[in-house]
Amino acid sequence: MNHDLAASVERLYDEHYQRLYRYMLRCGCSESQADDFVQEAFFRLFRFLKEGNTIEKPKYWLLRVLRNLQIDDARLQSHEATLDDKDLEAGAMQAFGTAPDAETETMKREWTDAVKAAIASLPRKQYEYLLLRAEGLKLREIADLHGVSVQTVAEAIARAVDKIWRTTHE
């Protein structure tokens, strides 16, 4: 049974590690800290399942463990929004097309800087809710994870998106 369990957790690890790791980086963790947190989350998952428990949504469960690990870690008192430059570049390409001229490159760089600044200025909760939503969690799951109402999450995400939109389209 332990072999089957180990294989199941290994499959989940292969499926979710990279996204969870990137999520932790975007939450302000260093690379080593993000790796440590994700490794610890999978270790806890293995132990939890080994005790005979079942988990309906393992990614959601892992995200909740990661959130708890963050809360417990004193170094996460402040955050700085970090984005994958590839994600921002893709957004800039959508916004400004693919022409390689100097003016377009300048506009893309300015747009990317504006998006980073807008995200960095979000309150911590808005930032966290937005990241979790981008990871595919439903509003109800985010609300449960944070112990707030669905309406609170929906309004916070709407305010965050509105702020980013206004900043990048003024």
Q: What is the DSSP letter of 73?
A: -
Architecture of domain 2-76: Orthogonal Bundle (1.10)
pTM to 2 decimal places: 0.57
Instruction: Provide, rounded to the nearest whole percent, the portion of the chain with pLDDT above 70.
Output: 81
For residues 26, 36, 60, 164, the Cα torsion angle rounded to the nearest 10 degrees is -10
Domain boundaries, the chain: 2-76, 85-168
**Would you say 104 and 96 are in contact if contact means Cβ atoms under 8 Å apart?**
yes
Selection from 69-73, 148-152, 164-168 with the highest mean pLDDT: 148-152
At 78, is the pLDDT very low, low, confident or very high (cuts 50, 70, 90)? very low
For 85-168, CATH number? 1.10.10.10
